[in-house]
Structure 1
Amino acid sequence: MAISRVKLISLSSIAVVLLLFFGVGSFYYFGSFSTGDRAGVVIKISQRGYIFKTWEGEMNLNDQGNTIEKFEFSVEEDETKVIEDLKDAALTGERIRISYVERYRTFAWRGDTKYFITEVVRQKNNELRNEKEDSRDNSSNQNENTDDQKNDEPISTDTTTRDM
């Protein structure tokens, strides 16, 4: 039983169309447009959605003044450590650095934005303490120097003369 030429061409056409469809779909789903880092303070991180619950967040990139430059991002469900780090950073209000991947398209079950967080880098408490101690040491050295300068000046004990 031989397949007719018309059936062979139509089956081949369907196979090519399906192959193109899955190829383009895979490219949009798994491909990344860019990668990068941003630093700021996490404003919020929440799980949102009616049917598909996704992790969405906002970050304030500008820490000077009252202006807010928002960076909206998504976190994939399997990134549990990233989600926990973002929650902690949102509660403490500390400045963090995040690494992200920008995808070509969004999908409802993945997230609302094209930016997906892959890593959160937090400044350790020891580093903060060392910076504070260094600044205290510098300020105490400056205070000692000014105290020494004050002690070098002669002190007047004459109470009889007054400036008028």
Structure 2
Amino acid sequence: MIQRTRRSPLLILIGILVVAALLFWGWAMATLNFSYSEGERNGFLQKFSKVGWFCKTWEGEMLLTSMPGAIPEKFHFSVRDDAVAAQLSAAMGKRVTLSYAQHKGVPTSCFGNTEYFIEKVQVQ
């Protein structure tokens, strides 16, 4: 007779958790490394700060330049690079052009509160 060995429920649980962690990591890396769209926005940097209870992220707001008399539109963005964050802090209140990459489906706000991540800053 063939005797079956029974797997420990703890071993099965650990295996499920490892697979779940690998899937989460793979999804996060895919969404952060492949952009949905890229572009530039031009306007006045209105707000920029490091926010969050547990995961501190750089978040900002820019008033987009528009036609005279029109209601200005706000562009909310996140920054992952500390060097870019330093440039933005120095450019508060100035007219800037922001180069961004849009990353859809980022799994948690620990990477940023928006899907628009700034990659380059040009002060005008």
Q: Which consecutive residues of structure 2, in runs of 5 or more, have no partner in the other structure?
A: none
| Partner Cα separation in structure 1 for residue 51 and residue 13 of structure 2 | 41
Q: Return the letter of the residue paired with 1:80.
A: D
Q: Does the CA-based 8 Å contact 2:50-2:56 persist in structure 1?
A: yes
Q: Which consecutive residues of structure 1, in runs of 5 or more, have no partner in the other structure?
A: 124-164
More strand by share: 2
Check if 1:40 corresponds to 2:52. no
Q: Deviations over 1:131-160 (max 9, x none)?
A: xxxxxxxxxxxxxxxxxxxxxxxxxxxxxx
Alpha-carbon deviation of 1:36? 0.7
Pick the structure with greater CA Rg: 1
More helix by share: 1
Describe how 1:53-92 pairs up with structure 2 within 5 A: 53-65=56-68, 66-76=70-80, 79-91=81-93
TM-score, length of structure 1 as denominator length:
0.56
Q: Does the CA-based 8 Å contact 1:46-1:55 persist in structure 2?
A: yes
Describe how 1:98-109 pairs up with structure 2 within 5 A: 98-109=99-110
Q: Matched residue of 2:36: which SS?
A: strand
Q: Matched residue of 2:26: which SS?
A: helix
Aligned to 2:29: 30
Q: Does the CA-based 8 Å contact 1:28-1:103 persist in structure 2?
A: no
| Partner Cα separation in structure 1 for residue 115 and residue 40 of structure 2 | 15
Alpha-carbon deviation of 1:8? 7.2
Check if 1:6 corresponds to 2:6. yes
Alpha-carbon deviation of 1:85? 1.8
> Per chain length, whose mean CA-contact separation is higher, i.e. which structure has more relative contact order (CA < 8 Å, sep 6+)?
2
| Partner Cα separation in structure 2 for residue 98 and residue 27 of structure 1 | 26
Q: 1:85 to 1:98 in 2, by over 3 A?
A: same
Identical counterparts, % of pairs: 26
Q: Deviations over 1:24-71 (max 9, x none)?
A: 211332222524122122221112223433211012234323322222
Q: Which runs of 4+ in 1 moved over 6 A?
A: none
What's the RMSD between the two structures over aligned residues?
Answer: 3.0
